[in-house]
């Protein structure tokens, strides 16, 4: 619930996007909200799923079409505990321009690595899809891009990030969007100096250890915002 509200407040998700977390007692299950806007998710809206994307306790509630993003990544990456999919505004341009890759340029974004891979759905499902990850086969193809990365862009769609905790995944989703914004701005000024591979590793090791600090701030801010919204 908190992750959904933080991501909405930080402008990473709007009416669309979703957050999942692996079951703490059953690694073959995960939780994902029912089909709804992230900013309105409550604990009662969470649905339990198998790693095939089948709802265990939907009880007639509509579920997300793209639950297979989450199920297939959890299946392929046992180390992953949380998955976030969004259409954050600065990310999308970098998913469609040839030669313009999402690359880390500041110390909060070392998790991107030298550059984020881009998932091209046409290579899997042809040239007439709605670009949604709407079945296991497409989800599995996307998940393969996470074999060497914790963030993958999706051409004309958005991005997905993973983490070994929900706090780390939220941290990465927020700073991936900020890095993309800075990158688009910097590219207009001239040649950009990006982080080296060694700098990426060092930033992940040192900076991400501070993720509790922004989490506490974001959570407080999101709660104030939610309490100010009637109904």
Active site residues: 66
Q: Where are the beta strands (DSSP E) in the chain?
A: 18-22, 29-33, 46-50, 82-86, 118-119, 151-154, 158-163
> 70-75 contacts: CB < 8 A, separation 24 or more?
70/18, 70/20, 70/30, 70/32, 71/30, 71/136, 71/139, 72/136, 72/139, 72/140, 72/142, 72/143, 73/139, 73/142, 73/143, 73/146, 73/160, 73/162, 74/20, 74/22, 74/30, 75/51, 75/140, 75/143
Structure-token pair, residue 51: 């790693």
Q: In what order do the strands lie in the sheet with 29-33?
A: 46-50, 29-33, 18-22, 82-86, 158-163, 151-154, 118-119
Closest Cα to residue 208, out of 175, 160, 178, 183?
A: 175
């Amino acid at each position: 619930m908190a992750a959904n509200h933080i991501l909405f407040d930080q402008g990473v998700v709007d009416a669309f996007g979703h957050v999942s977390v692996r079951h703490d007692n059953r690694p073959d299950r995960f939780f994902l909200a029912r089909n709804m806007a992230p900013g309105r998710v409550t604990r009662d809206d969470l649905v339990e799923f198998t790693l095939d994307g089948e709802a265990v306790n939907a009880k007639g509630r509509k579920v997300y079409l793209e639950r297979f993003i989450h199920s297939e990544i959890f299946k392929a990456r046992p180390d992953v505990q949380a998955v976030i999919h969004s259409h954050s505004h600065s990310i999308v341009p970098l998913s469609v321009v040839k030669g313009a890759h999402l690359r880390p340029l500041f110390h909060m974004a070392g998790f991107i690595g030298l550059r984020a891979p881009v998932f091209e759905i046409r290579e899997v499902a042809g040239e007439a899809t709605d670009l949604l990850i709407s079945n296991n086969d497409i989800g599995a193809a996307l998940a393969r891009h996470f074999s060497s990365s914790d963030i993958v862009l999706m051409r004309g769609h958005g991005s997905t990030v993973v983490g070994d905790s929900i706090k780390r995944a939220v941290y990465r989703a927020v700073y991936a969007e900020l890095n993309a914004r800075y990158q688009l701005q910097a590219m207009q000024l001239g040649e950009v100096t990006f982080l080296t591979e060694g700098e990426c590793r060092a930033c992940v090791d040192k900076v991400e250890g501070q993720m509790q600090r922004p989490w506490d701030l974001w959570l407080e801010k999101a709660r104030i915002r939610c309490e100010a919204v009637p109904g």
